[in-house]
């Protein structure tokens, strides 16, 4: 984004339009009561096992027939990849996905089931981004950004819209932060409808570029060698997208971090107490809630914790449950 160009800040009207567009495709996930003052928003129950279906379908459905006929390309460690593959199949478009060589097998298999072509790259998110850009030039494909796009942000924002519609008295929302599509969309929707509610972003300690970016007031980049240390593969982006960064600067109250042990404990508790299979990235917000890293403030008596995805490697999941 050029510094001289005003950023496109997504409106609540755009989020409502996205909600109509994805109706019947993405699941309107319920709010599950955890205790007297806490609810879970289980995006792990989406058709592709993660919230990404919202943004991906909204983006592809917004393309013209000519654009969809050219085919689409994206780059992703897994959940956005699966969502684009599914949306493309539903809308009759060819999809090419640039995925890292360390992508979880469960996510690779999901992409293949929907008939998308996979191009394997190294583990640095910028490397797969550049490979996707090459494919745009070489094959005329249309880029579907994972998070740095108003249509993606609006689609993910429907998660926040549903929270407020189902719990108008909401006082705080905990949401994981990666490239920023979900967190910026949710923060935008919640603040537009309930300005007094606190929106708190959650990152792993080992991939805390967004927290550092907001604290410094400028985009900060972490290396793949740094972010690969967290088991939360969906939160390993090197940096926020420029557009999500602008949304979070306006609408996010704060970002807190959680440890790997806290993420694992959250996965165990969600499995045992809520009967939810959750991947490490999806458990990050619950880790912040259970550990007290996101403390309640006065009057915070209606908290929603977003469980962003459930596409976990079975062996990893079993190992964590046994821990």
Place of tokens 């537009």: 192
Place of tokens 């440890």: 259
pLDDT at 3 over 60: no
- Name the H helices within the chain: 12-22, 52-62, 65-70, 79-91, 105-113, 125-139, 150-166, 181-193, 209-216, 224-227, 242-251, 260-274, 280-291, 314-322
pLDDT at 78 over 90: no
**Residues involved in catalysis:** 52, 308
Higher pLDDT, 243 or 233: 243
The torsion angle over the Cα atoms of residues 223, 225, 231 and 232, rounded to 10 degrees, is 10
Print burial letters for 161-178: b (CB count within 10 Å at least 16), e (below 16). Answer: bbbbeebeebbbbbbbbb
Residue 126: predicted pLDDT: 83
State the average pLDDT over residues 86-98. Answer: 97
Residue 56: predicted pLDDT: 97
Using 50, 70 and 90 to split pLDDT, how confident is the model at 107?
confident
**Residues spanned by CATH 3.40.50.1100 within the chain?**
12-50+149-322, 54-143
pTM of the predicted protein model? 0.94
Query: Which one of 3.40.50.300, 3.40.50.12160, 3.40.50.980, 3.40.50.1100 gives the CATH number of domain 54-143?
Result: 3.40.50.1100
Phi, psi angles (nearest 5°) of residue 180:
110, 0
Phi, psi angles (nearest 5°) of residue 75:
-135, 135
Task: Region of 71 please: left (phi>0), alpha (psi -120 to 50) or beta.
Answer: left
State the average pLDDT over residues 294-323. Answer: 95
State the average pLDDT over residues 80-87. Answer: 95
CA-based torsion, 164, 59, 56, 115: positive or negative? positive
Report residue 19 as tokens. Answer: 């909600």
Q: Measure Cα distances from 90 to 53, 152, 163, 236 in Å.
A: 12, 17, 26, 28
Instruction: Report the DSSP pairing between strands 142-143 and 95-100.
Output: unpaired
CA 84 to CA 54: how far, in whole Å?
10
pLDDT at 4 over 80: no
Average model confidence (pLDDT) for the chain?
95
- DSSP run (H or E) holding 39: strand 38-42
Fold (CATH) for 12-50+149-322: Rossmann fold (3.40.50)
Q: pLDDT digit string (tens) for 171-226?
A: 999 999 999 999 999 999 999 999 999 999 999 999 999 999 999 999 999 998 99
Residue 6: predicted pLDDT: 87
Q: How many C-beta atoms surround the C-beta of residue 61 within 10 A?
A: 17
């Amino acid at each position: 984004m050029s510094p001289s160009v005003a950023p496109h800040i997504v409106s609540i009207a755009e989020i409502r339009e996205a909600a109509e567009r994805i109706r019947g495709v993405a699941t309107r996930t319920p709010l599950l009561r955890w205790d007297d003052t806490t609810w879970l928003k289980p995006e792990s129950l989406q058709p592709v096992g993660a919230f990404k279906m919202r943004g991906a379908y909204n983006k592809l459905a917004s393309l013209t027939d000519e654009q969809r006929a050219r085919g689409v390309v994206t780059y992703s460690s897994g959940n956005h990849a699966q969502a684009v593959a599914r949306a493309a199949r539903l809308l009759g478009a060819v999809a090419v996905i640039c995925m890292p060589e360390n992508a979880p097998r469960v996510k690779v298999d999901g992409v293949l089931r929907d008939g998308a072509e996979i191009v394997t790259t190294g583990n640095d998110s910028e490397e797969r981004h550049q490979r996707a850009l090459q494919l745009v030039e070489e094959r005329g494909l249309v880029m579907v950004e994972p998070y740095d796009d108003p249509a993606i942000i609006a689609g993910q924002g429907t998660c926040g819209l549903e929270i407020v519609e189902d719990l108008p008295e909401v006082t705080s929302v905990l949401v994981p932060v990666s490239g920023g599509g979900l967190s910026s969309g949710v923060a935008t929707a919640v603040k537009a409808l309930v300005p007094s509610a606190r929106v708190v972003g959650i990152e792993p300690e080992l991939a805390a570029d967004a927290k550092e970016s907001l604290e410094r007031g400028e985009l900060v980049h972490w290396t793949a060698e740094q972010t690969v240390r967290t088991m939360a593969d969906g939160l390993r982006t090197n940096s926020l997208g420029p557009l999500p960064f602008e949304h979070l600067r306006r609408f996010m109250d704060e970002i807190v971090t959680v440890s790997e042990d806290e993420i694992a404990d959250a996965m165990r508790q969600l499995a045992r107490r809520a009967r939810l299979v959750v991947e490490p990235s999806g458990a990050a917000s619950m880790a912040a809630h259970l550990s007290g890293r996101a403390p309640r403030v006065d009057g915070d008596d209606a908290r929603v914790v977003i469980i962003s995805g459930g596409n976990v490697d079975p062996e990893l999941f079993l190992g964590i449950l046994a821990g």
